[in-house]
Chains A and B, each alone.
Chain A
């Protein structure tokens, strides 16, 4: 049985550019949520988000890339480049054909789309820019990453809303397990802070109101939670067949030991219990792990009333008595809900727990909810040895992805 290990990490989020910045922010329990600056907020009722702070694309991209990329593609390229450099891979021509890319995105190049449509409908411009389509297509990030690193194997994109990155990483691992690839760049990216998109989220009435203190708006599992906060960014990992990684003396962060995907097949927005619980069980079964071996769960934890209550039920159902011994946290309280990048950034948070021995907290936790009665690591990171961590992603549309990682 071929096994899969992680040999490179990259991340861009409201906590900064690069995995060290992400880990430092998470360890400090720092929220990256603030008032929106990257789009026109004049018609928004709720102008807060977890924006990547003072992001200057020109500092990271070539002029050609600047012209062609959406903001989400820029984040994806920066995260993938960080992970790629760290993995320190040198591939032969033959090996390149067995190396690919699998990126998730919820909405693709939506900032460029918003801009293009505003020019058409509002400014009544005579023509759209010729690069509009390549800028907004959902596979832009996967394609540009494959071109940048000349990876010629299976290269795909997955769009399963908030679970996109977890599905992408999990399916990339399956490509390696099944022998169709030896190396995969996998992750997810989204940049949904565009006026039209935020307005659409306002219409769903699931966003936390901005209030006087945006940084404290996202309060997962807290009794006074009031909804989700959008975020932006990208996360990427290099997945590699284990024997190959050992042979070349690669630095191995952890083993991607288990993955499962299930569907509620029930409701387009309300979360289920049975299918997500089955996903956690199946991921652990693939990893050959008993539920009692899990130390930390990085929750989906959106901070909506329904998600957090339901996820608590799911965790209790799968872990039984062990649920009360687990550390469970939602790092969305700090990096926001990054849609198609969430699963990747949250896997990086779980890897921090294994690698640094620091479990990231649930920030802004204020008040115990009788329906959410687990140990959510409130407000302060915890020093704790973590050998096994699970990351949950439960998407709109009832599509669930769970990743299990183990100390290598």
Chain B
């Protein structure tokens, strides 16, 4: 897992907690479908991502997030766009 950056590690950790599965079973290429994340799990995870990273994920961006890699990429973009964005 050494090749993962901190954002990717955190995303995997949050998904592992949510689905109660070992983080080792989740890779960057794992899709929400493969991980058994349905729409309701997805909403809860988005909330957890927003709280952990202290940012807001717009709906359009949220709709594109269907795999671990897509989540990490989206969070990276969001963080770059609003580096000081804290709780609103």
Interface string of A179-205 (1 = CB under 8 A from B): 000000000000000000000000111
A203 to B46, CA, bound (A): 9
Min CB distance A267 to B, Å, is: 7
State whether the Cβ of A153 lies closer than 8 Å to any Cβ in chain B: no
Interface string of A202-246 (1 = CB under 8 A from B): 011100010000000000000000000000000000000000000
Min CB distance B38 to A, Å, is: 7
State whether the Cβ of A269 lies closer than 8 Å to any Cβ in chain B: yes
State whether the Cβ of A270 lies closer than 8 Å to any Cβ in chain B: yes
Q: Which chain A residues lie closer than 8 Å to B46 at the CB level?
A: 205
Interface string of B23-46 (1 = CB under 8 A from A): 000000000000000111001001
Q: Are B39 and A203 in contact (CB under 8 A)?
A: no
State whether the Cβ of B81 lies closer than 8 Å to any Cβ in chain A: no
Q: Are B40 and A209 in contact (CB under 8 A)?
A: no
Q: Is the interface of A mostly helix, strand, loop or mixed?
A: loop
Q: Are B39 and A269 in contact (CB under 8 A)?
A: yes
Find residues 41-88 in chain B having any chain A CB closer than 8 Å to their own CB: 43, 46-47, 59, 62, 88
Q: Are B38 and A270 in contact (CB under 8 A)?
A: yes
State whether the Cβ of A43 lies closer than 8 Å to any Cβ in chain B: yes
- Counting chain A CB atoms within 10 Å of each CB, the highest count among B43, B46, B59 belongs to B59
State whether the Cβ of A89 lies closer than 8 Å to any Cβ in chain B: no
> A203-B47, A205-B46 are known contacts. Are A269 and B88 too (CB-CB below 8 A)?
no
> A43-B88, A270-B38 are known contacts. Are A204 and B59 too (CB-CB below 8 A)?
no
Interface size of B as a range = under 10
Find residues 44-67 in chain A having any chain B CB closer than 8 Å to their own CB: none
A306 to B40, CA, bound (A): 13
A375 to B72, CA, bound (A): 42
Q: Are A205 and B43 in contact (CB under 8 A)?
A: yes
Q: Are B39 and A270 in contact (CB under 8 A)?
A: yes
A203 to B88, CA, bound (A): 14
State whether the Cβ of A408 lies closer than 8 Å to any Cβ in chain B: no
**Which chain B residue shows the least CB distance to A268?**
B40
**Which chain B residue shows the least CB distance to A204?**
B43
- Counting chain A CB atoms within 10 Å of each CB, the highest count among B39, B40, B62 belongs to B39
Q: Are B59 and A267 in contact (CB under 8 A)?
A: no
> A43-B88, A209-B59 are known contacts. Are A203 and B40 too (CB-CB below 8 A)?
no
Q: Which chain B residues lie closer than 8 Å to A203 at the CB level?
A: 43, 47
Q: Which chain B residues lie closer than 8 Å to A209 at the CB level?
A: 59
A209 to B62, CA, bound (A): 14
Q: Which chain A residues lie closer than 8 Å to B88 at the CB level?
A: 43
A43 to B40, CA, bound (A): 24
A204 to B47, CA, bound (A): 10
Q: Which chain A residues lie closer than 8 Å to B47 at the CB level?
A: 203
Find residues 90-136 in chain A having any chain B CB closer than 8 Å to their own CB: none
A205 to B63, CA, bound (A): 10
Q: Which chain A residues lie closer than 8 Å to B62 at the CB level?
A: 205
Find residues 266-304 in chain A having any chain B CB closer than 8 Å to their own CB: 267-270
A306 to B62, CA, bound (A): 16
Q: Which chain A residues lie closer than 8 Å to B59 at the CB level?
A: 205, 209
Min CB distance A229 to B, Å, is: 14
A235 to B38, CA, bound (A): 35
Q: Which chain B residues lie closer than 8 Å to A204 at the CB level?
A: 43
A-B contact pairs, 5 of them (CB 8 A): A203-B43, A267-B38, A268-B40, A269-B40, A306-B39
- Known A-B contacts: A204-B43, A205-B46. Give 8 more (CB < 8 A): A43-B88, A203-B43, A205-B43, A205-B59, A268-B40, A269-B40, A270-B38, A270-B40
